[in-house]
A and B are shown apart, each in its own frame.
Chain A
Amino acid sequence: MLSKENIALYAFEKFGDTALQAAFCCIGNRADAEDVAQEVFFALHREPRDFNDDEHLKAWLLRCVINRCKNLHKSIWRRMRVNMEDVPTAELTVNDSSEKEVLNLITSLPKPYAEVVYLHDYEGYAIREIAEMLERSENTVSSQLRRGHLKLRMELSEEG
């Protein structure tokens, strides 16, 4: 059982970047992603809870981040998104222009695809695990993953 005195701080140290990356991939811009990620850690700070282990904690954080991103997608704030070009490069710590290009493509992915592609390609979750996490059928997840990949490939080839 993972029971820390300050579980939120522990979670931030351990998975702070993970939460931010997940939020970024799902929401599509850095500023909103930071808001979403920080809200999740504050929520855990307000309502601490025990976790079985680090994996359990990580899965909980990712789920919370994705849920919050969904809420944000429904809201007016999506129209106030900050374009990648507007964010200082230093903050993005992107080293080359092709990576920035890739990031631009990632952020342009439709939301359901973006969530699935992130969880599968970056976090390494299996389709079955993603289906459980997002409460979708495996068929849906497989289909969204395939289409997300297709879209990424298509966009890149157009630009490349």
Chain B
Amino acid sequence: MRMDKERYRRAVSGIRWTEKQRAAMRKKLKEPAKKAADDFFDDFDEKPLTKEEQRRMEEEMAKQEKRIRRLSKSGRAVAAALLILVGGGVTAGIIHAKKLKKQEANAAMGVFGLHLTDQKDSPSRLSFSQSEQGYYIGYNNYEYSMSDFSVQTDMGEEIQFEALCQNQQRALPTFYDPETGESAVLCARPNCTHDGSTYCTATTRVYGAAAGGDIYFTYADGYLYRVTGKHNLKTMDDGSVTYDDTETHAVLLRYEPDGSGITELYDFGTGGGGSMPVVHRGYLWFSVQLKTYGDIIKNKITGSESRFCTGGYEIWGYELKTGKLTKVYTAMEAPTANLVATAPEYLNGIGDYLYFDTADGDMITPTGTNRINLLTGELSKAPDISLEYGFNEHYGLHYNRVLQGGDNVGCWQLVNLDTGETKDIPNSELSTGYIGTPFLSGDYIYWFQHGENSEDNIIRMYDLNLNKLLGVNVSESGLPTIRLKDAKIIPDIGICKVQDGKLFVSYDLTATKPEYGMWWTVENSVYSCNVSDLLDGKLEWTKVFESMDSGEAQKQFEKAYEIAEKALKDKR
């Protein structure tokens, strides 16, 4: 059997709502909208709770209450109200009672008592942390496996051949010493291949499986910090190792700078990990996502099974000098089947404030940017910012500015958090190529536009009045390129961080031979350039880091190319 677009389309088009489901949906959508909690657990047949369902709900709430008490270390009662919402069916929810008022009350009681210092850091969403000795960089190393390729002869005949294929990525945290130019994976085990086994401490599965994902370390005062999930590993019958989300805990970890000596500083309870910690005013700030799982519930309309899940996000401060932990924000949300929200995932410390975004319970609908005054504990909305497409689109927050928008919104805006004034980046700048993610740092916006054609690869730089300061094609930027036999090389630039007057960028080169179906990242490196030089139009780059497998990737690409050529030649 051969798959083609038509067969695919025919199969997918058979997926439709049944008439019964359609009628139920229409009915629900004609009714006034309810809260998120009501939606999921509402029973379409509007039957009352059974005794068993009622018992389960009560058990869940008792568990939740216990958890909240346990987390309230200082003994203060957390004013989380547990409500059973019985609105025509199996409806249950936990609603955090009057978050804002509670925060205000906490501030009045002086519960914050933070000892803020002058320590500042320019936070970044990407893993790139600097110590006195060098840089800590998280990067993705590729793995390879045999795969089938196909190529057409001049006569249109398709021939198959087998070659190594660049496959999944594995995140590795590394240290780079700029003086010696050497880099090493942050692993404490000798002779480790960092293959994601339990032996490796760099890709440890116990503390957040790093394979295929990002890994975020933050360096502060001689240690590396990380917030992640601690898994309870289980060996399955087939020998594979897995874990159960319901038993995963959110933890704050401290590593020695060589990746050894992992200390679990605090276990926040059942949860899914947290944000990348940022350093600000003598504290490490981070959010943790907490979850408590209950019994399985069956959706009576769809027949799908889900599980009662409660929880939310909390923001904590870890005082680097004393190790004291302080919770500064709690966002307990109504339960949904599979996630808990809101989402203060990206934190930014600016002056006396800690900024963070929140989203609705659906994790998509943004509810704005908030800030906590670290001196008073006052929680307030940042000036009215409407994020049309969700917090995923919220790319930059620095000093008193936020950069928001998205390619699909059609524009980008720079918002002054103090005044609410907005400025649009002209649409004319959006008209060509793929618009990479703009990055706001300090007084400048950096923006890399890239595409398949060389004229689409442009480095741009703006000031906060959105005046263009720089617009140069990557091929003329001084960044190196390579030549491979008959392969097209596509550059891709991403922002890492602006620190100490230097712009750090990730720089990838993809080698492609589309007619053989080959797309390989053959260069995966980090470069830096002085911001002042960029402003003067001097593009002088220093290589900071190169992926361990860059040379190997080139070799393997060339090998696969040779195999393809041979297959074609043999056919002819």
Contacts and interface: CB of A to CB of B under 8 A. Distances in A.
A18 to B, nearest CB: 10
Given A34-B21, A39-B40, A156 B3 contact: yes
Contact of A94 (B11, B26, B305, B339): B11
Contacts of B21: 34
Given A39-B39, A95-B14, A68 B29 contact: no
B477 interface: no
Where chain A touches its partner, the secondary structure class is helix
A80 B14 CA distance: 23
Contact of B338 (A72, A99, A135): A72
Interface residues of A, number: 78
A3 interface: no
Nearest to A59: B408
Given A75-B245, A156-B1, A92 B36 contact: no
Contacts, number: 208
B3 A92 contact: no
A74 B363 contact: no
A99 B7 CA distance: 8
Contacts of A9: 26, 29-30
A21 B18 contact: no
Given A33-B15, A76-B244, A132-B408, A64 B9 contact: no
Interface residues of B, number: 78
B307 interface: yes
Where chain B touches its partner, the secondary structure class is mixed
Interface in B7-36: 7-18, 21-22, 25-26, 28-30, 33-36
Interface of A: 6, 8-9, 12-13, 16-17, 20-21, 24-25, 30-35, 38-39, 41-43, 45-47, 49, 59, 63-64, 67-68, 71-72, 74-77, 80, 82, 90-95, 98-103, 105-106, 117-118, 121-122, 128, 131-133, 135, 137-139, 142-143, 146-147, 149-150, 152-154, 156-157, 159-160
Question: Sorted from nearest, which 10 A-B pairs have the closest CB atoms?
Answer: A31-B304, A160-B1, A76-B245, A102-B11, A143-B519, A75-B338, A34-B302, A132-B407, A9-B29, A42-B39
Interface of B: 1-3, 5, 7-18, 21-22, 25-26, 28-30, 33-36, 39-40, 147-150, 165, 244-246, 272, 293, 296, 299, 301-307, 336-339, 360, 362-365, 388-390, 392, 406-408, 434-437, 450-452, 490, 492, 510, 512, 514, 517, 519
